[in-house]
Copies of this chain bind each other. A is one copy, B any other.
Amino acid sequence: MEIIVDIVSGLIAQMQKPTLAFLIGGMALAAFGSKLEIPEPVYKFIVFLLLMKVGLGAGISIREANFIDLAIPAVGAALVGIAIVLLGSGTLARLRGVSSMDGMATAGLFGAVSASTLAAGMAMLDEEGIAYEGFIGALYPFMDIAALVTAILLARLSAERKAAAETTAQPGGAVAVGKPGSDNGEMIRGILSETFRSAAISALLLGLALGILARPDSVYENFYDVLFRGLLSILMLIMGMEAWSRLSELRQVAHAYIAYGLLAPLAHGALGFGAGLIVHQLTGFSGGGVVLLAVMAASSSDISGPPTLRGALPEANPSAYVGTSTGLGTPVAILSIPLWIALANMTIGV
């Protein structure tokens, strides 16, 4: 009995932390039918500032980091991104009512990373006074790009196989419009270039490059870092409102998306947590770092992913993948951050 009281009071304490409280507040506002809106340009600017903060912070830390300490978690992050997409292709994309194209797009979005969720994880670790590697933001593009490229490749290959099968079945029919297998290299280059040029990844890489090559420490400490927590509170509010309003879109798609949106962040987070534990054994990666790898894995892309997928997989239905990701995946991922902190505390101590 006492344990239940402990868990409930622990849960309430977590919900009261600014990050989660603003997310829940945003959902409550939208449920209540509030007309409050944060203007789009302000939203975009807040996201830019958070990405610069994450990128600059990581870049500044990389200057003093050991190559191996950095390379091993980076490889781990990329592998987790690929594993999440393969998992999605073996589950969601095979369920009833889910087209292979839509399923792969959704899996790609869930494998990609949300900067806001990562920032929320950092803020919650800061609130708890738990340390983590400064370079952690640099792992973001590894997981993000690995997942997007894998998902788009698999979806394209499956579309080609299908088109080839149809051509074979109807020998007198039209010639398949699927691209020949030979230009896969070109397709990968296209996806990579599209992803690197996306607003989110390029802001993050800019921050990283400036942090590594220039000396932005004073402006980082006196501006980007100072505004971080406050801007994140507003972003959480926006994401809560957005999540609630996207939920209605899910009524129009298969039930499988709802199950995936609720369970996948937990499964992916566990995958990221496991990878983090291995990196911890290999390099002494901190407990806070393990938590943030789990948070990145649990998160689904809300800024860079959707336009990349829309460009690469125009046949996929955005209501399915954006609705599942923004309406369910993101709030579940943010609300489960305390879980990874508790788990890290239980396993390796933080």
Cβ proximity bits A9-41 to B, threshold 8 Å, 1 near / 0 not: 000000111100110010011001111111111
CB-based contact A206/B45 at 8 Å: no
Give residues 321-348 of A contacting B (CB, 8 Å): none
Bound Cα distance from A15 to B227, whole angstroms: 25
CB-based contact A214/B42 at 8 Å: no
CB-based contact A199/B21 at 8 Å: no
CB-based contact A219/B18 at 8 Å: yes
CB neighbours (8 Å) of A15 from chain B are 214
Closest-by-CB residue of B relative to A123 is B219
Total residues of chain A contacting the partner, CB 8 A: 50
CB-based contact B32/A197 at 8 Å: yes
CB-based contact A36/B219 at 8 Å: no
CB-based contact B233/A229 at 8 Å: no
Bound Cα distance from A227 to B202, whole angstroms: 24
Quick one: which of B21, B40, B206, B223 contacts A36, CB cutoff 8 A? B206
Quick one: which of B193, B197, B209, B230 contacts A224, CB cutoff 8 A? B230
A247 interface contact, C-beta 8 A: no
CB-based contact A18/B216 at 8 Å: yes
Bound Cα distance from A229 to B230, whole angstroms: 16
CB neighbours (8 Å) of A215 from chain B are 16-18, 21
Closest-by-CB residue of B relative to A199 is B36
Cβ proximity bits A191-225 to B, threshold 8 Å, 1 near / 0 not: 00100111100110010011001111011001110
CB neighbours (8 Å) of A41 from chain B are 39-42
CB neighbours (8 Å) of A206 from chain B are 25, 28-29, 34, 36, 237
20 A-B pairs besides A21-B210, A25-B206, A41-B41 with CB distance below 8 A are A18-B214, A18-B216, A21-B215, A21-B216, A25-B214, A32-B197, A34-B206, A35-B197, A35-B198, A35-B202, A36-B202, A36-B206, A37-B44, A37-B199, A38-B44, A38-B45, A39-B44, A222-B226, A223-B230, A223-B231
CB-defined A-B contacts under 8 Å, sample of 29: A18-B218, A18-B219, A21-B214, A21-B216, A25-B206, A29-B202, A32-B202, A33-B193, A34-B197, A34-B202, A35-B198, A35-B199, A35-B202, A36-B48, A36-B199, A36-B202, A36-B206, A37-B44, A38-B48, A39-B42, A41-B41, A41-B42, A42-B42, A42-B45, A127-B218, A218-B229, A219-B229, A223-B233, A224-B230
